Chains A and B, each alone.
Chain A
Amino acid sequence: MPFTPPRESYSGKIFEETIGSGPKAITVGGENVLPFHSFEGATPHKPVIAFEVQDVPPEDWPEVVKEVYKGVSGDPVTWAKYCIEKLGAETIALRLVGTHPDRQNFSPDEAAETVRKMLAAIDVPLIILGSQHAEKDSSVLIKCAEAAKGTNSVLGKAQEANHKTIVAAAMANDLKLIAMSELDINLSKQLNILITQMGFDKAKLMTDPMSSALSYGLEYTYSVMERIKLAALAQNDPTLQPPILADVGMMVWKVKETQAPEADMPAWGSLKDRGIAWEAVTAASFLIAGAEVLIMRHPDSINAVKKFIAEMEV
């Protein structure tokens, strides 16, 4: 008896969003089916991976990933150009971690200057990230948004506590915006509603439901992403139709599995392969669950995930 494939069609569709400008601009989203379900609907754009660079040298990154950028990570622009020219980065995520009051406490003007230099030096899309210090981010990201005016960059992350100023800044400077809340579909929905009620176009939003690392809560992020996608597609809920962003590298490269040397944990095997696999498996899982934009750190993990994405085309 022939097999009748039980295909699904959905009334909803993920917003199609272009980031950056010029020939290197990238478009994500646009699909009307679950991740990689090209057999029953449209999946016009591949997920995109942004290489993470920081405004200060990555002292707190584990050796496996720090050593890759040795020699270039002293300066964010040099670092980003290395990612683009040598490692094939199609997008850069600049994390202004040096603005955190517990780090270098860079001023909003200093951060904006870094953003300005970065935008002048690179031609790929830029994701501008604060230090996730809710209060400091609101002052830092206002200045950074002004520096990025008209570049169609992505600004983030707006959280419940600081969204008003950051949303206003993104709106005034015509930027895309990341809205982050903590591992709960209802919180994601609520924040997206608050943001659109301020007049921000929901088709310029990205939802960050909060990432996690393999073995450290991955299943929470995974299921929140799946539920967001199902609500967006099956229930046609426009507040959950922005593409999903997963900030993978920062969650992965702080867990024990990416740091403990093989000498200490002989049952865990090679530290280098383990670290790369930890980042790649976390990232691939989130792609399967619904992420369209990933922020990652190690070029080998990124390459593996790119090959994985390529294998999804059938």
Chain B
Amino acid sequence: MALTGVEIFKLLPKTNCKKCGQPTCLAFAMKLAQRQASLDQCPDVSAEAKQKLGEASAPPIRPIKLGTGDRAVKMGEETVLFRHEKKFVNPCALAVAMKDTASGADAQKLIDAVLGSEIDRVGQKLRIDAIAITNDSGDPGKFEAMAKLVAEKAPAVAVILSTTSPDAAEAALKHFSNKGAVLYGANASNLDAMAAWAKAAKATLGIAAASLDELSDLTEKAKAAGVEDMVIDSGARKAGEIIRDNTLIRRAAIKKNVKSVGYPVITFAMRDDNMLETLVASAAIAKYSSIVVLSSMEKWKDLALFSLRQNIYTDPQVPMQVEQKIYKIGEPGPEAPFMITTNFSLTYFIVSGEIENSKVPARLAVLDSEGLSVLTAWAAGKFTASKIAQFIKESGIEGELGGTKELIIPGYVAILSGSIEDKLEGWKITVGPREANGLPAFLKSRVA
């Protein structure tokens, strides 16, 4: 179980030397208890304390990196079961399976697709993070050949090598030494050899168990064999098994501090039915998997899964905000309607969505209101006549508009129309609908 700050303090040198960056040992102990500091920061800690504290202060789910360099993906380190409690920290990696029986041309196509999978979504770069090479042939030579091809053609992409053959593992791992690869396929019959090859290549060992009991047993054996970095698979394949095992693993790791399952989870979501695969992968993203392996990549599927991952891993305590600026919807001419709202992302999405629905090209000014919705922002003094007037003046929008300078404000702040008119000389202020769903009718009636 996790130690309290005071319990940790008793094990520290109590010299208040400040070398850790904290003013006192007690302050450092408190940081350790909150998992905001690492014991490595104390240069004088005793071996005994290190051993005791190391166990207790380690995050309940071990942090592990998949891949290296800019594209490396951090996994693990989660501390809660539900995203409303605290942010889920490390978004799960998405991997695509590549059979070692694939033709050279097909393999090249998949590599190109992975390399070209990056898209920009609300300011974040999202992509397929890894390739999972699977030893379908059972032939170490074929497995190695595919590994070599991937290592040469996509050197920056993280790799999961999936095989139960230590010979195949050894051959393929030669191409991924020190590359943050995962060697997946360690089971009861090959554990020692697989552990040895993973250690030699500084790879993460992927445990392939058939049950939670076996999983816990195998991770302990691997740990005894000197393996520290592992990703774990309980054998869950059906959606219900994934939800069950991932829930039990997350609970055991976080609430009971069970170390034998305190590792990131790898989930294989492959299905013949692509839409069903998308949903099984969705369940794995929402419920605690750290790597999800897919059978194929399609742009629509990637987009949906990237979006879900982004939604689930959003910080629930920070209101999502969009950038303050004037957004064009459609191709608005100089006389197109010009509206204003706040920068709470939900407000922006709903308002811009309804403007799109109206099919009337328009401009939408989004004022930085610190992520508050219209009424809340108005009540908090973040959406006021002077802020609106200042933003409009400084935006330079006047030059883009035609003869009539008209600003449409949300119906909820109708009360502001007079004072905005006073502050924006030459402008006409019009009160729009209170709710965004009134916008299509409102806009259509104006162009009719």
The stretch of B63-71, B190-198, B274-282, B331-339 that contacts the partner chain = B274-282
Complex Cα–Cα for A60 and B238 (A)? 37
CB pair A314 B308 closer than 8 Å? no
Complex Cα–Cα for A256 and B354 (A)? 11
The yes or no answer to B252 lying at the interface (CB within 8 A) is yes
Given contacts A218-B308, A269-B300, A314-B238, contact A60 B244 (CB under 8 A): no
CB pair A219 B316 closer than 8 Å? yes
The stretch of B11-19, B143-151, B254-262, B383-391 that contacts the partner chain = B254-262
The yes or no answer to B1 lying at the interface (CB within 8 A) is no
The stretch of B153-161, B212-220, B393-401, B424-432 that contacts the partner chain = B212-220
Complex Cα–Cα for A274 and B299 (A)? 8
CB pair A268 B300 closer than 8 Å? yes
The yes or no answer to B240 lying at the interface (CB within 8 A) is yes
The yes or no answer to B243 lying at the interface (CB within 8 A) is yes
Q: Pick the residue among B213, B243, B311, B346 that contacts A2 (CB under 8 A).
A: B213
B195 to chain A, nearest CB (A): 18
CB pair B216 A2 closer than 8 Å? yes
The yes or no answer to A22 lying at the interface (CB within 8 A) is no
The yes or no answer to B412 lying at the interface (CB within 8 A) is no
CB pair A312 B243 closer than 8 Å? yes
CB pair A284 B241 closer than 8 Å? no
B386 to chain A, nearest CB (A): 29
Chain A CB within 10 Å, residue with most, of B82, B252, B279, B346:
B279
The yes or no answer to B38 lying at the interface (CB within 8 A) is no
With a cutoff of 8 Å between Cβ atoms, the chain A residues found around residue B307 in the complex are 214-215, 257, 281
CB pair A284 B82 closer than 8 Å? no
The stretch of A75-83, A141-149, A168-176, A302-310 that contacts the partner chain = A302-310
With a cutoff of 8 Å between Cβ atoms, the chain B residues found around residue A3 in the complex are 212-213, 215-216, 248, 252, 258, 260-261
With a cutoff of 8 Å between Cβ atoms, the chain A residues found around residue B361 in the complex are none
Complex Cα–Cα for A254 and B260 (A)? 46
Q: Pick the residue among A257, A308, A312 that contacts B303 (CB under 8 A).
A: A257
Q: Pick the residue among A5, A257, A269 that contacts B298 (CB under 8 A).
A: A269
Q: Which chain A residue has the least Cβ–Cβ distance from B234? A: A3
With a cutoff of 8 Å between Cβ atoms, the chain A residues found around residue B251 in the complex are 6, 8
With a cutoff of 8 Å between Cβ atoms, the chain A residues found around residue B440 in the complex are 102
CB pair B240 A312 closer than 8 Å? yes
Q: Name the interface residues of A188-226: CB closer than 8 Å to any CB of B.
A: 212, 214-220, 222-223, 226
With a cutoff of 8 Å between Cβ atoms, the chain B residues found around residue A312 in the complex are 238-240, 243
CB pair A218 B279 closer than 8 Å? no
Q: Name the interface residues of B336-372: CB closer than 8 Å to any CB of A.
A: 345-346, 349-350, 353, 356-357
Q: What total of chain B residues lie within 8 Å of the partner, measured CB to CB?
A: 64
Complex Cα–Cα for A147 and B255 (A)? 53
Given contacts A223-B84, A255-B353, A270-B300, contact A217 B346 (CB under 8 A): yes
Q: Name the interface residues of A131-164: CB closer than 8 Å to any CB of B.
A: 132
CB pair A274 B216 closer than 8 Å? no
**Interface 1/0 per residue, B433-445 and A, CB below 8 Å:** 0000110110000
With a cutoff of 8 Å between Cβ atoms, the chain B residues found around residue A280 in the complex are 275, 278-279
The stretch of A34-42, A47-55, A106-114, A241-249 that contacts the partner chain = A34-42
The yes or no answer to A127 lying at the interface (CB within 8 A) is no
B315 to chain A, nearest CB (A): 10
CB pair A37 B244 closer than 8 Å? yes
With a cutoff of 8 Å between Cβ atoms, the chain B residues found around residue A268 in the complex are 299-300, 303
CB pair A219 B83 closer than 8 Å? yes
Interface size band for A? 35 or more
With a cutoff of 8 Å between Cβ atoms, the chain B residues found around residue A215 in the complex are 121-122, 307, 310-311
B44 to chain A, nearest CB (A): 35
CB pair A284 B298 closer than 8 Å? no
The yes or no answer to A285 lying at the interface (CB within 8 A) is yes
B330 to chain A, nearest CB (A): 12
Q: Which chain A residue has the least Cβ–Cβ distance from B261? A: A3
With a cutoff of 8 Å between Cβ atoms, the chain B residues found around residue A217 in the complex are 345-346, 349-350
The yes or no answer to B48 lying at the interface (CB within 8 A) is no
With a cutoff of 8 Å between Cβ atoms, the chain B residues found around residue A69 in the complex are none
CB pair A270 B212 closer than 8 Å? no
**Interface 1/0 per residue, B283-316 and A, CB below 8 Å:** 1001100000000001111111101101110101
CB pair B298 A273 closer than 8 Å? yes
A132 to chain B, nearest CB (A): 7
**Interface 1/0 per residue, A242-280 and B, CB below 8 Å:** 000000000000111101000000011110011011101
CB pair B255 A308 closer than 8 Å? no
B438 to chain A, nearest CB (A): 8
CB pair A230 B82 closer than 8 Å? yes
Given contacts A216-B349, A274-B300, contact A285 B239 (CB under 8 A): no
Q: Name the interface residues of A80-134: CB closer than 8 Å to any CB of B.
A: 102, 132
B218 to chain A, nearest CB (A): 11
With a cutoff of 8 Å between Cβ atoms, the chain B residues found around residue A219 in the complex are 83, 311-312, 314, 316
Q: Which chain A residue has the least Cβ–Cβ distance from B283? A: A288
Complex Cα–Cα for A212 and B248 (A)? 29
The yes or no answer to A300 lying at the interface (CB within 8 A) is yes
CB pair A132 B437 closer than 8 Å? yes
Given contacts A215-B307, A268-B300, A288-B287, contact A308 B276 (CB under 8 A): yes
CB pair B220 A300 closer than 8 Å? no
B276 to chain A, nearest CB (A): 5
CB pair A37 B216 closer than 8 Å? no
With a cutoff of 8 Å between Cβ atoms, the chain A residues found around residue B273 in the complex are 304, 307
Sorted nearest first, the 5 A-B pairs with minimum C-beta distance are A269-B299, A102-B441, A274-B300, A314-B240, A269-B300
Q: Can you give 23 A-B contacts (C-beta < 8 A)?
A: A6-B248, A6-B256, A36-B240, A102-B440, A214-B311, A215-B310, A222-B83, A223-B83, A223-B84, A223-B316, A226-B83, A230-B82, A259-B356, A267-B299, A268-B299, A270-B298, A274-B303, A280-B275, A280-B279, A281-B278, A281-B279, A284-B279, A301-B275
Interface residues of A (CB under 8 A from B): 1-8, 36-39, 60, 102, 132, 183, 212, 214-220, 222-223, 226-227, 230, 254-257, 259, 267-270, 273-274, 276-278, 280-281, 284-285, 288-289, 300-301, 304-305, 307-308, 311-314
